[in-house]
Chain A
Amino acid sequence: MSGQPLLKVQAVETFYGNIRALGGVDVEVNKGEIVSLIGANGAGKSTLMMTICGSPHARHGSVIFEGRDITQMPTHEIARLRIAQSPEGRRIFPRMTVYENLQMGAGLDNLKYFSEDVEKIFKLFPRLKERQAQRGGTLSGGEQQMLSIGRALMARPKLLLLDEPSLGLAPLIVKGIFEAIKKLNKEEGLTVFLVEQNAFAALKLSDRAYVMVNGKVTMSGSGKDLLANPEVRAAYLEGGRH
């Protein structure tokens, strides 16, 4: 399987009813890469993340993971291929404790590595350790964000999809999360595909990036190139530097 991307999204079109949210998107993510997707609100970034997980399914085009067509596969089976997502809106289970939310993340292995992995998550986000007996719905936005990422990591993913990991977090914590992602990528070879509003931080972190406008990818390149690109700078970076 050498030379083949881990994830290949080909000419994907996704609809909500009759409204076309994605109009033929092509994206590739190679093993061991951090790839980001930037774009304005409503560009279809989150839709692409959910389409990869089959919720909703793409109407046209295909999603290939490890050489396998997963376009029409049920969402739970896609998850079992180790594609984990921290989705838009975080989607913490509000009436489960923080601990149980993390257990849900480790459900694929029947909690086999749970005690080992949960310590890692608690080290990454010590706040979650303090709050472990609290119900998810009572956490602050930032804490929920940490929990959502932690829960996705508990699945020992081959591909981690992060939808706006910096949303609602204090700059210092954002920095911490981005460093954590980088570290997981470097040390454990974790492949990450992330959507970010915080384009500057995302591009700096990423090997490659895509820019999305109105349901289509309009630009792509290495993080560095896009950071230097005047169009990208004007649209997503100037004045928005964090």
Chain B
Amino acid sequence: MEYFIQQLVNGLTLGSIYGMIAIGYTMVYGIIGMINFAHGDIFMLGGFAALIVFLILTGLFAGIPVVVALLIMLIVAMLMAGLWNWTIEKVAYRPLRGSFRLAPLITAIGMSIALSNFIQVTQGPRNKPIPPLVSSVYNVFGISISLKQIIIILITVVLLSVFWYIVHRTPLGRAQRATEQDRKMAALLGVDVDRTISVTFVMGAALAAVAGTMYLMYYGVVVFTDGFIPGVKAFTAAVLGGIGSLPGAVLGGLLIGLIESLWSAYFTIAYKDVATFSILAIVLIFKPSGILGRPEVEKV
């Protein structure tokens, strides 16, 4: 039983990270109907930005408190990733808006390769480790919960609440939802559609950067290929939860995290990704629009 709960905690932590990345996929898909395959690399880029900030901070101020360091890492990573995604949207996707559907998709794949290669060239191809930032571990009824896990889950909850609030309660969020539902009508009401789409890319990237920073803190290492596997898994999470749905992305992320850690705990770890994707396939057979996705038909 304790072992099971232990795995649940691990799965939730991992799932939080996937969920935060998945939101970026799902929001961009919702608003312009394309899969931003470079999003996984934005996550990786966020991890690298955090790493560099960490190195600079510890180099300049030896005894800097961990909380302060983490906070600065988070903020800089969010800004950097946001700036990158904003630029990518502007130079690579916007000119293709209105062309055939596959064009931005192919560009996104190209962008993903370009980003990971850029990091490989500028930061080197090897794993980049950092010393453990927070190492406290608490023992609760025989289950060990690390401070890292608590931080990750807490930050996820806080950020998702903020996000939910922005999307559902602010003029910006209304403009985003309006653009998602009827771009032409949104423009007729004075919504600057291009700007709204840009902001959506920035918001998604900021969350991915937080996930990247958390990932770096959790595993203590980041490498240029990190955009790929976690990226694909977060994308899977978005599809599993129902692409276009924000709660779906979070739910999908948590499920994938849980499946992964429970499978690794009870079955062969080598097959954990096979298990994850099999479950995705099975769910999609019975519910093609994902768990919380909406069916395409709508009364208009």
Which chain A residues have a beta carbon within 8 Å of chain B's beta carbons? Answer: 53, 55, 74-76, 79-80, 84-85, 87, 89, 91-96, 100, 103-105, 107-108, 110-111, 137-138, 151, 155
Contact = CB atoms under 8 A, between A and B. Distances in A.
A85 B184 CA distance: 12
Contacts, number: 73
Nearest to A89: B300
Nearest to B300: A94
B31 to A, nearest CB: 13
B283 interface: no
Given A91-B182, A100-B174, A75 B299 contact: no
A95 B190 contact: no
A24 B35 CA distance: 41
Nearest to B191: A76
Interface residues of B, number: 20
Nearest to A148: B185
Contacts of A92: 300
Interface of B: 171, 174-175, 177-178, 181-182, 184-193, 298-300
A48 to B, nearest CB: 15
Contacts of B299: 94, 137-138
Contacts of B184: 55, 75, 91
Contact of A111 (B171, B185, B186, B190): B171
Given A91-B182, A111-B171, A105 B189 contact: yes
Contacts of A80: 190
A107 B298 contact: no
A128 B186 CA distance: 20
Contact of A75 (B174, B177, B188): B188
Contacts of A74: 187, 192
A110 B184 CA distance: 20
A93 B185 contact: yes
A93 B187 contact: no
B177 A93 contact: yes
A76 B192 contact: yes
A108 to B, nearest CB: 5
- Binding site secondary structure of chain B: helix
Most buried by B among A53, A84, A91, A138: A91
B171 A110 contact: yes
B172 to A, nearest CB: 10
A205 B186 CA distance: 30
A23 to B, nearest CB: 23
A87 B190 contact: no
B181 A108 contact: no
Contact of B188 (A55, A94, A138): A55
Nearest to A151: B189
Nearest to B175: A107
B190 A91 contact: no
Contacts of B300: 89, 92, 94, 137
Contact of B191 (A53, A87, A107): A107
A132 to B, nearest CB: 15
Contact of B190 (A94, A96, A138, A155): A155
Contacts of B182: 91, 93
A93 B181 contact: yes
A155 B181 CA distance: 20
B176 to A, nearest CB: 11
B178 A96 contact: yes
A55 B174 contact: no
A107 B187 contact: no
A93 B186 CA distance: 9
A53 B190 CA distance: 10
B171 A93 contact: no
B171 to A, nearest CB: 6
A219 B186 CA distance: 34
A106 B157 CA distance: 32
Given A76-B192, A76-B193, A137 B185 contact: no
A103 B171 CA distance: 9
Given A94-B181, A138-B299, A104 B187 contact: no
B171 A76 contact: no
Nearest to B185: A91
A104 B189 contact: yes
Given A107-B175, A110-B171, A79 B188 contact: yes
A91 B186 CA distance: 10
Contacts of A111: 171
A76 B185 contact: no
A107 B188 contact: no
Contacts of A103: 174
Contacts of B181: 93-96
A98 to B, nearest CB: 14
Contacts of B185: 87, 91, 93
Given A55-B187, A76-B192, A155-B190, A94 B177 contact: no
B298 A137 contact: yes
A79 B186 CA distance: 10
